[in-house]
Structure formats: C-alpha cells, structure tokens
Structure 1
C-alpha cells in the first residue's frame, strides 16, 4: 500500500491555529489542546510533508514560504469538512433524504410551494433541493432525480414526461389597462428578456408573421421567476411558461398581455437513474408529482 501524505484533522487544526496565533500557547487554547500536543501535531505534519512550515522569530512562530502556500488550502479543507458536517446535521433526525436537482424557476415558483404536501405524505423523509441549469451526471453527482427540460436528457437515465412547456405573454394590469393586446401593440412595450433563452420573443413574433427587428427590447434577467417579478413590477411584458405564471395570473398580479400561447417544443421532464427506483422515497415522489400535475392539468 503506498505511503499516505494526507494530514490528520488534528494536524491541520494545529497548523492553522498556530499560523493564526503565532505562539503554541495561544494556539493550544483555541483548539483545546496542550502546548505539547500542538507542537507534536505541527512537527508530525512537517515530517509528513517533508518541509518546514514555520520559522521561529524571537518568541513567535511565523510561516515559511511553504507554510504560506499550504495555509489557504488547509483552511479550505477544514472549512469544507465543517460545511459537510453541518449539512448532514441539518437533516436532524430524518433518516431518509431525497436529493433533487431542479430548474431554478420551476423550483421556486412551482415545486417548493407544493413540497409540504409531499413531505406530509412521506413522513420521515426530508429533501435536499439544488438549482441546476445544466444536465445532471448521476454517476458523478449525488442527486436522486432531476426536474428539467427535455433537452437536458442525461445518458444512462430514465426520462418521464411531466408536461409540455407552453409560453404566455404576461404583464402588470397597469401596463395595458387590464386589456390583452394584439401582437402589433405588444411590439410597442418593453419586452423583458430571459438571458439563457434570448430567442423566445423572436420566435413569438416570427410565429405571428411580424418583423422581429421592431422589438423594443427590455431589461434582461437570468431566470423566469425574475422575469415574472419584473413583469409584476411593471417593467415590461414577459414571455414565460404558463405553469410558472399561473399563480400571479390567478391572483390578478399579472394579466395575459396576449390571448395566444406558444409551444416552446420543450417539456418538463423527470430524469432519474436506475438506483432511484429502489428508493421508496423516490417512488412516492414520482407518484406524488404526477398526481399534482394531473390535478392541475386534468
């Protein structure tokens, strides 16, 4: 077995605290060890790495060139380990975790407001939700499932169609006096742009056989939920998935700026690896989300 040069946690802690404090006395107090234990840990680390990490100057220990190079990496390792521990502790007494990657706007506007229903139906389960715009590599990443568009198809994964993406033009009622506009009139409004999908308005007016060069371009935003918020604030008209705008439309904070809809050619898709089918919490989630969508669209 090859020799290991990986430091112990105690060695890293002693090194980082001695670099901060400058004396073994102060470092020992901070890591709750004796001065001897701190000195031994630092010497062991130096022996392991084969370099001197400190030089003694009068009564203080200062970092050598090697020590200065190693310090930020050592701190990062300890910070990452602490963050990982805190992340696990956040699950509390829950023994079952479902790790979900989801499109940011779909997660914020649709999934999260409904997650309470799933958690009530799956006692003992908690969720770890992360926003992802890129395809998930289930062989390298710890996710149990992803909710993304059909273009995010992942190799060696299953793909379950959830719903087709239909786009609607929306705006604040104050912007149009509460009336839907013709496409000609819509061209006169500031049209809010979605940064990662910059051609949506071009496609909208191309389908209406209008010259898209006449578009009055508006502010740009990273995510659809930001476009929706900007439309509510009266900054212009947004072209967004109907499923994300349904709540503000129902509440009257938005109106349909046009009566028509546009099929984007994409669909929201549940993507998952083989291993997920062996997880009871996943099969519950799959049944739950299909029932939720059937209740809305059925």
Structure 2
C-alpha cells in the first residue's frame, strides 16, 4: 500500500510544460490554461512534495536543482505513458508497436530500405526506431529489442543470429596517386577508425599477414556514416562494411584501393529480453527479419556462417 499520495496528472502536466519552457506563460498557452491556473497547480505540487521546484528571478521563473532533476524524471514518465497508451490502443486492433534500438548506418543502409515489405506483410504492426551504438539495460530503457553487432553475449537477452559482414577499405580517388599493389601500401596513408570496432584495421591487416603498429594509429569516428564522409572528403582510408557503400561508391567519389574483403568474426544479432519474446509485434518483426537476413546472406554463404561453424 502506498504511503504517499502521487501528484495528480494535471499538476504533473503543468509542471512538465513549465519546466520545459521555464515559463508559466508558455506552459499555460500550450495547455490552454490561464497562467494563474498553472501557478496554482505548481504551488500545490511543491506543497505536496515539500520541495521548491522554481525560484523567481526578476520577471521569470528558473528551475531549482531539484526542479531540473524532477522535470527530467516526470518527462520520461509521461513519454513512457504516451508510448504505453499508444501500444495498448494498437493492441486492441491485434497489432502494436515495437520499440527497436538500431545501429544508425545499419538501419539507414540495410534495414529501412527493406521495411516497406514488412509494413505490407504486417500492416497492423509499426516499428519505432532509436539509435544506440552500445549495449544497454533493457529494464532502464523503453526499448523492447535491439540490433546488435558483436558477440551474442548481451546479459539477460535472447539473441538471433542475422549475418556476418564483409569489410573493405575505401577512400577518395584523389587520395591515391596510383593503385595500391599490396595491402601494406595503405599504411602510407592515414587510417580512419571506428570507435565501436577499434581493432578493425589491425584484424584486417593481420588476416593478410601484416603486423604493424601503424594499423592502430589514426583518428576515430563513432558512426560509419562519419567514417564514409571522412573518406569521401579525402581525410584517409576507412574500413567499412561493403554493403554500406557498394551501391554508392561512384556517387561519393570513393574507390576500393585494395580489394581484399575480410569476413569479420563478429556478427549482427537481433536481441531482446527473453520474457518479451511472445509479444505479437516482436514475434512478427523477428519472423520477417530472420527471413530477410537469410535471403541477404544467401548471396555470400560466408556471411551466414556463425562463429561455431
């Protein structure tokens, strides 16, 4: 049994709007209330909490430290309530929403171009996407599943293998005076690295029998879109998944200076909390995604090999 009274929704809505704008006037305008009504709601909220949320500075209101913290918490709670409400409404029609965390470049270059087929097959299910490049705790987020690159070692989840990736070096045609005769020739130019795959170049060169400290030197970028843009700008040579660039090399002015594709040891996975695996949105998306992944990997059987194969 609760030992305290949860603030009413009107007071929370008034506070969240006022905290976001740091203005009772703008909050009142957004909520179609009078400024005095917003002020009363917040005064009542502060009285119930026993905490000052705003202080007046001249003709404006400013959040206190407690107000900033509580404002962020209330905003997250209201956003979660919005999502839950939309989800239950959709559930009544037999469909629903899936909150999916994605790797940005993977989503834009591989997943989203195929998503029209999913929408046709499952018109009552919609996929909302947000970018995440690192692992996270599902319990502390609104996501219900994620596209993960690496090993299937995400704690507390089930993982479905999708496919491995083939990586190739790319650079602006203007960077090279002549085509590289060997992989070692690339070391004469700046190497551009991915922060999420820091040993990518070292592994690529090692696969070709080259061990050199220079393989770890160079600037780093978090997203593959950044790497590709940097390579196109002539800043160096980037090592990227082939399917990120294969259809746009000419458009971007990129070339493959030494074509020795390497299949990485890591792979893409669909990961999700095991207890959520029976929800219709996730089940529908999982079935479709595995089918698409199998079709894509069929073009290069090495992409379909798991680490255990």
- How far apart, in 2, do the equivalents of 1:284 and 1:52 lie? 48
- How far apart, in 1, do the equivalents of 2:99 and 2:258 lie? 38
- Which shifted more, 232-241 or 272-281? 272-281
**Residue equivalent to 2:175:** 175
Alpha-carbon spacing, 1:181–1:88, altered in 2? closer, same or farther (3 Å): farther
- Which shifted more, 172-181 or 202-211? 172-181
**Residue equivalent to 1:72:** 68
**Contact 2:193/2:220 (8 A) holds in 1:** yes
- Which shifted more, 192-201 or 77-86? 77-86
- Which shifted more, 229-238 or 10-19? 10-19
Superposition deviation, residue 239 in structure 1: 0.9
Matched, 1:239 2:239: yes
**Residue equivalent to 2:302:** none
**Residue equivalent to 1:147:** 147
- How far apart, in 1, do the equivalents of 2:261 and 2:296 lie? 18
**Residue equivalent to 2:197:** 197
Alpha-carbon spacing, 1:286–1:236, altered in 2? closer, same or farther (3 Å): same
Matched, 1:135 2:135: yes
- Match of 1:288, SS? helix
**Residue equivalent to 1:271:** 271
Superposition deviation, residue 279 in structure 1: 2.9
- How far apart, in 2, do the equivalents of 1:55 and 1:270 lie? 47
For 1:132-182, what per-residue CA distance to the aligned partner results, in whole angstroms no more than 9, with x for missing partners?
A: 223243445443322212425223432221112332112233434784642
Matched, 1:109 2:109: yes
- How far apart, in 2, do the equivalents of 1:271 and 1:248 lie? 30
Q: TM-score scaled to structure 2, two decimals? A: 0.72
RMSD (Å), alpha carbons: 4.2
For 1:10-25, list aligned pairs within 5 A: 10-11=10-11, 13=14, 20=23
Matched, 1:227 2:227: yes
Superposition deviation, residue 126 in structure 1: 1.3
**Residue equivalent to 1:259:** 259
Matched, 1:161 2:157: no
**Contact 2:152/2:159 (8 A) holds in 1:** no
- How far apart, in 2, do the equivalents of 1:61 and 1:250 lie? 58
Superposition deviation, residue 231 in structure 1: 1.8
- How far apart, in 2, do the equivalents of 1:144 and 1:55 lie? 39
Q: Which runs of 5+ in 2 are unaligned?
A: 299-309
- How far apart, in 1, do the equivalents of 2:15 and 2:183 lie? 68
**Residue equivalent to 2:98:** 98
Q: TM-score scaled to structure 1, two decimals? A: 0.74
- Match of 2:226, SS? helix
Superposition deviation, residue 96 in structure 1: 1.1
- How far apart, in 2, do the equivalents of 1:145 and 1:16 lie? 30
Superposition deviation, residue 281 in structure 1: 3.1
**Contact 1:173/1:179 (8 A) holds in 2:** no
- Match of 2:203, SS? helix
- Match of 2:7, SS? coil
Q: Which runs of 5+ in 1 are unaligned?
A: none
**Contact 1:191/1:238 (8 A) holds in 2:** yes
- Match of 1:32, SS? coil
Alpha-carbon spacing, 1:5–1:167, altered in 2? closer, same or farther (3 Å): same
Superposition deviation, residue 130 in structure 1: 1.8
- How far apart, in 1, do the equivalents of 2:208 and 2:54 lie? 72
Corresponding pairs, count: 288
**Contact 1:175/1:236 (8 A) holds in 2:** yes
- How far apart, in 2, do the equivalents of 1:270 and 1:227 lie? 24
**Contact 2:98/2:128 (8 A) holds in 1:** yes
